Structure 1
Amino acid sequence: MYKHMYTVENEVFAAFLFYGALVLLKMIAMSPITIAHRLALDNFMNWEDTKLFNDPDPEKRKRALVPNDNVNRVKRAHANDIENIVPFLILGLMYVAVKPELGLAVWLFKAFAISRYAHTVVYLLRFPQPSRLLAFLVGFGVNVLMACEVIRKLYTTVYVGLLLSLVEALAIVDCSTMSVYSLENEAFAALVKYGGLALLKTVAMSPITIFYRIKYNSVPTPEDAAVRAGNDEELKKKFLAKNDEVERVRSAHQNDIENVFPFVLLALLYIGISPDPGTASFIFKIFAGSRVAHTVSYLGKLPQPSRALCFAAGMAVNTYMAIEIFKKMFFGL
């Protein structure tokens, strides 16, 4: 019997490693695919990049900076990967910790990997909707199921051993005598609870964006517009125009990605220094509450500094944890 959950002797973790590596490889590959499209279509983001033309004509270089739909399509596919694969990897680690049934776990990991590859293929090859939507929903459903199962298992007495090798490598705690990554540790239990809620909220921003796109008749691609407008070219243009309300939701989603993912990773390391459970639970609760409040104030258009204060609260939690980790590692405080 394996000593800890995070070893290849655990078949669930081994399956997670395999399918996690597959989707990470696909996500990493999107960068060179984007570069290839830029070079093929002479389309760049920055003025200095246009020097690749070896052409002194400034007008030609300016035209190369005009957004290109084919390049933007690859970038959107890449962004969608980040919005879904990163939560999958974090939630997958938590899911492995609660000892799921092997058959179900492998099925979920496999379904997610297939859905992400399918999503990119139908996106780049411009398959008609709802092909891309269905591919997205499969991966989204896997993330939601794992998050709900992790939160549900929080209230059980199942032993959880998490990331011991990482903690030992950092020489933060002696994992041979105890596991701080156990539901018996109140600090870790609080992270699973509030970190899971923050991740679930981040994942939920995708269907909220879809709802706003439907509500305000704003879509990102021509095939999406064709579903709503048929062959009416003028109506397609209206559907493809950017909408301020949709962009507001997308900005809130991006802000979640920029803050929730660092929080979860920092919190895992913070747990490793054996913080006071009461303090840890308090700051995790503050962070989760701040992210929910941030989205509410953003989408509800509450006057500033309401959104700024919510953002500052979450940033303060991340900063505090980072400082505490460095103090422990470098000064032994």
Structure 2
Amino acid sequence: MAATSLFVMENKVFSAYLFYCALILLKLLIMSPITITYRMLTNSFMNIEDTRAPVLGTRDPDKQKRALVPNESVNRVRRAHQNDIESIVPFTILGMLYVAIKPDFATAEFVFKVFAGARIAHTPIYILGVPQPARFVAFLVGFAVNMYMAMQVIMASKPELNMSVFSLENAAFVSLLKYGSVVLVKLVAMSPITIMYRKIHKSVASEEDAKMAQPNDYERQKKLMAKNTEVERARSAHLNDLENIVPFFLTAMLYITIKPDASTADLLFKIFAGSRILHTIVYLGKVPQPSRALCFLGGISVNCYMLFQIMNAVFL
């Protein structure tokens, strides 16, 4: 197969990669609604405005206070989500490189299936608290797949990449560069914003930071290390960005490969960028619900639409 035809639908290896990659990215996106569901079921929320939301909220100050207490079931779902991010992101990148070395189709499809199955199994095992080593085995299988692909790519003499759709002649790719840069700048800016919030509210993340700020005062060090709700709000906004912007980039790169209509792609990227910028403003500004939920839905809807288009292109 010529190098120019590696990243096209006619290449069965790439087609299989697209499907299983879209499947696990969809699974990754679903983790956010699962977390929301657990919060509702356990009446455990991260922010005061969530406790006052219509229907599920309350005006009782004592109930609001109890609803802000961390819940282990919710934290377990969030840790499962974080583990997905740490495993799925490397897979999508390594998978693209693996396709470039022209592996055997049966082997490649098996590798992609095993990884997808391992990650899908990992989540219910984690959330339901199935005894070890079940979760470790599910994690290890996915890790082994990533290591296998990485070693295959390293041992290949000359991986060949087709970058034809990823050029400035492709209007859809140009749109991704433009709006992708906007959301990346916004994502990077969350770190200095969090630092600024820490300075304003006199809250540090670790013992060494407290010792540096108050070298000889243990009591003040303890106060500095206490969690601050405003700082945690900024950190939550940052985490929410990571949970949505990383899948967006991976999904958008796959979406570009199916050669979508340029104007449609441009609109999707604009909607995503706008929804993520608004999400942070609404989050940090403590704007009442459902404003933040609507911003979140705008972004996740774009990601889901692109993923379904990718899977549709594979089979139709």
Taking structure 2 as the reference length, the TM-score comes to: 0.52
DSSP 3-state at the match of 1:43: coil
Which whole-Å deviations, capped at 9, do the CAs of 1:162-198 have from their partners, x for residues lacking one? 342132425889xxxxxxxxxxxxxxxxxxxxxxxxx
The residue that corresponds to 2:148 in the other structure is: 145
Match of 1:32 in 2: 33
Q: Give the 3 Å change call, closer, same or farther, for CA 136–56 of structure 1 in structure 2.
A: same
Q: 1:89 aligns with which of 86, 89, 92?
A: 92
Mapping for residues 193-208 of structure 1, pairs under 5 Å: none
Equivalents in 1 of 2:131, 2:161: separation in Å? 45
Alignment partners' CA distance in 1, 2:58 and 2:65: 12
**How much does 1:58 deviate?**
1.4
In 1, distance between residues paired with 2:146 and 2:67?
A: 39
Equivalent-residue separation in structure 2 for 1:66 and 1:162 (angstroms): 51
* Residue identity matched to 2:99: V
SS in 1 for 2:77: helix
SS of residue matched to 1:164: coil
Instruction: Give the C-alpha shift of residue 119 in structure 1.
Output: 0.4
Aligned to 1:126: 129
Measured after TM superposition, the shift of residue 152 of structure 1 is 1.9
Deviation at 1:55, TM superposition (A): 2.3
Matched, 1:63 2:66: yes
Partner residue of 1:11? 12
CA distance in 2, matches of 1:137, 1:157: 29
Offset, 1:54:
4.0
String of CA shifts for 1:11-60, please: whole Å, max 9, x gaps: 11011011111111111111111111111111111111111244222121
Report deviation, 1:71: 0.7
Kindly indicate whether the alpha-carbon contact (under 8 Å) linking 2:50 and 2:57 is maintained by their aligned counterparts in 1: no
Residue 165 of structure 1 aligns to a residue whose secondary structure is: coil
2:164 corresponding residue in structure 1: 164
**Structure 1: how far apart are the matches of 2:29 and 2:14?**
22
Distance 2:63 2:127 in 1: 27
The unaligned stretches of length 5 or more in structure 2 are 175-238, 254-316
Query: For residue 166 of structure 1, what is the amino acid of its counterpart?
Result: F
Corresponding residue for residue 195 of structure 1: none
Instruction: For 1:119 and 1:151, locate their aligned partners in 2 and report how far apart those are by CA, in whole Å.
Output: 28
Indicate which of 136, 139, 143 corresponds to 1:136.
139
Q: Secondary structure at the match of 1:67?
A: coil
Looking at structure 1, the residues matched to 162 and 36 of structure 2 have their Cα atoms a distance apart, in angstroms, of 37
2:109 corresponds to which letter in structure 1? V
How far, CA to CA, are the matches of 2:58 and 2:136 in structure 1?
42
**Unaligned residue ranges in structure 1 (runs of 5+):** 174-253, 269-333
Q: Which piece of structure 1 moves more, 163-172 or 45-54?
A: 163-172
SS at match of 2:44: coil
Q: Which amino acid aligns with 2:25?
A: L
- Identity among equivalent positions (%) equals 52
Aligned residues of 2:101 and 2:158 also touching (Cα < 8 A): no
Q: Is the 8 A contact 2:6 2:162 kept in 1?
A: yes
Distance 1:98 1:138 in 2: 22
Distance 2:6 2:69 in 1: 50
**Aligned partners of 1:162, 1:47: CA distance in 2, in Å?**
50
**How many angstroms apart in 1 are the aligned matches of 2:151 and 2:141?**
15
Change (3 A) 1:172 1:55: closer
Pair 1:172–1:44, CA change in 2 (3 A): closer
Deviation beyond 6 Å, 4+ runs, structure 1: none
Distance 1:172 1:15 in 2: 22
Matches within 5 A, 1:95-114: 95-114=98-117
Q: Distance in 2 between matches of 1:129 and 1:75?
A: 19
Aligned-residue Cα RMSD (Å) equals 2.7
Q: Which residue type is aligned with residue 87 of structure 1?
A: P
1:1-333 matches, within 5 Å, as: 3-52=4-53, 53-153=56-156, 156-157=157-158, 160-167=160-167, 168-170=169-171
Q: With CA pairs under 8 Å and 6+ residues apart, which has the higher RCO, 1 or 2?
A: 2
Alignment check: 8 A CA contact 2:90 2:146 kept: yes
TM-score under structure 1 length normalisation: 0.49
Where 1:7 maps in the other structure, the secondary structure is coil
Structure 2 counterpart of 1:70, which letter?
Answer: S
Aligned length: 178
Structure 1 residues 135, 56: CA separation in 2 closer, same or farther (over 3 Å shift)? same
User: Deviation at 1:79?
Assistant: 0.7
